[in-house]
């Protein structure tokens, strides 16, 4: 396993370079956000960080995962049948969460407290005015992730991802999308947080049960980030994340490179599992050719012989075309 490369191109934290935000590989940006007020507060102390956050907090209750000490921070399934989880969910206020984290800081084997994917603007209005991400006109969802020592199993996200360590330390282990077969992904449902996760315990991998994981490690890259550091993770890259300090705060932004009317390819995957996977092998091969022709190898020559007005879904997809296609698909699925 090698290190995630550092970004060495031009960098303006108030207007991030498009070359970084559209890259097809991960990069680490060392110290790129060290000027953030939240990072400056975190460098003073965990208590100073808590005061900074609570000064902007609007009182809304947030979701909290709690894990027993014996889980060692690994957010995962509770049984070999993968039917339940090893954490409980609670609603709490931010001051309760921060008090809990500060109180557990000196505990050798504490329970894990974890707040994940909480929209920053909904909880800390004004935070992003002072801690600017520099994403320009991108329609990004900005979230906070807060907790003590936790381990989040390798998973992918559909959007591109810029993650900034605001407090504590985080270790990211990333893998290219083609490593999916070597990461031993779990079920599509149920999952701990929406996406399927790798079943491999990165802290103590069982190579007898998961032998191809060695190949994933050969293809993977790792980065350990301090406050003010950031990592860009392209769409669909797998990432395993560890919180390494008694109090860790991550601010991340997700955005897609496509217009909002473009539906998620994950819906296509689910439908393909229902309609294609269990066909006879000869029929699957036929549909493989169709997908290759109409989707993966498609260019202007694919439909050049069809009059432009008659192309329908083969022509350019816009909001109106997408709406009509969705309505037709919903009608077919209801039969």
Q: Half-sphere exposure of residue 145, counting CA atoms within 13 Å on the CB side?
A: 21
The answer to whether 145 and 250 have CB atoms below 8 angstroms apart is yes
Phi, psi angle pair for 215, to nearest 5° = -65, -35
pTM for the predicted model, two decimal places: 0.93
Distance, in Å, from the CA atom of 144 to the CA atom of 64, rounded to the nearest integer, reads 12
Structural domains of the chain, ranges and CATH numbers in brackets: 2-255 (2.60.120.10), 265-333 (no CATH)
Alpha carbons 131 and 36: distance in angstroms, whole number:
5
Instruction: Give 250's strand partners.
Output: 145, 165
22, two tokens: 């559209």
Buried b / exposed e over 29-68, threshold 16 CB at 10 Å, is beebbeebebbebbeeebeebbebbeebbeeeebebbbbe
CA distance 196 to 85: 13
Say whether 98 sits in a helix, a strand or coil. Answer: helix
Which residues, listed in sequence order, are joined to residue 112 by a DSSP beta bridge? 67
102: exposed, middle or buried (C-beta count within 10 Å: 0-12, 13-18, 19+)? middle
List per-residue pLDDT tens for the chain, 335 residues long: 899 999 999 999 999 999 999 999 999 999 999 999 999 999 999 999 999 999 999 999 999 999 999 999 999 999 889 999 999 999 999 999 999 999 999 899 999 999 999 999 999 999 999 999 999 999 999 999 999 999 999 999 999 999 999 999 999 999 999 999 999 999 998 999 889 999 999 999 999 999 999 999 999 999 999 999 999 999 999 999 999 999 999 999 999 988 888 888 988 999 999 999 999 999 999 999 999 999 999 999 999 999 988 988 888 888 888 888 888 888 888 87
Q: In the numeric block, which tokens belong to residue 223?
A: 């980065």
- Closest-CA residue to 75 (of 255, 201, 228, 250): 201
DSSP structure class, residue 70: G
Q: Return the bridge partners of 195, or none.
A: none
- Given 3-state DSSP classes, what are the helix, strand and coil percentages for the chain, each rounded to the nearest 5? 30, 25, 45
């Amino acid at each position: 396993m090698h290190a995630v490369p550092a970004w060495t191109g031009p960098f303006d934290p108030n207007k991030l370079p498009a070359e970084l935000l559209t890259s097809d590989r991960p990069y680490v940006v060392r110290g790129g956000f060290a000027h953030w007020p939240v990072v400056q507060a975190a460098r003073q102390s965990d208590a100073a960080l808590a005061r900074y956050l609570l000064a902007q907090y609007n009182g809304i209750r947030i979701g909290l995962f709690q894990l027993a000490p014996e889980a060692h921070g690994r957010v995962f399934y509770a049984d070999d049948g993968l039917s339940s989880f090893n954490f409980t969910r609670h609603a709490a206020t931010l001051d309760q969460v921060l008090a809990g984290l500060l109180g557990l800081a000196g505990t050798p084997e504490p329970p894990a407290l974890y707040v994940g994917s909480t929209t920053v603007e909904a909880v800390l209005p004004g935070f992003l005015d002072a801690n600017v991400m520099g994403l320009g006109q991108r329609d990004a969802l900005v979230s906070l992730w807060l907790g003590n020592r936790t381990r989040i199993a390798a998973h992918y996200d559909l959007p591109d991802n810029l993650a900034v360590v605001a407090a504590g330390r985080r270790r990211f282990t990333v893998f290219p999308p083609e490593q999916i077969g070597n990461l031993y992904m779990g079920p599509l449902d149920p999952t701990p947080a929406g996406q399927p996760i790798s079943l491999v315990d990165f802290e103590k991998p069982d190579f007898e049960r998961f032998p191809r994981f060695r190949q994933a490690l050969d293809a993977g890259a790792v980065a350990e980030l301090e406050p003010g550091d950031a990592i860009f993770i392209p769409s669909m890259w797998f990432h395993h994340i560890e919180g390494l300090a008694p109090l860790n705060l991550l601010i991340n932004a997700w955005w897609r490179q496509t217009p909002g009317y473009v539906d998620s390819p994950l819906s296509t995957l689910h439908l393909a599992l229902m309609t294609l996977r269990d066909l006879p092998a000869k029929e699957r091969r036929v549909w493989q050719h169709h997908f290759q022709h109409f989707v993966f190898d498609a260019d202007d020559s694919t439909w050049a012989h069809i009059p432009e007005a008659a192309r329908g879904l083969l022509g350019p997809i816009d909001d109106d075309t997408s709406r009509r296609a969705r309505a037709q698909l919903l009608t077919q699925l209801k039969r």
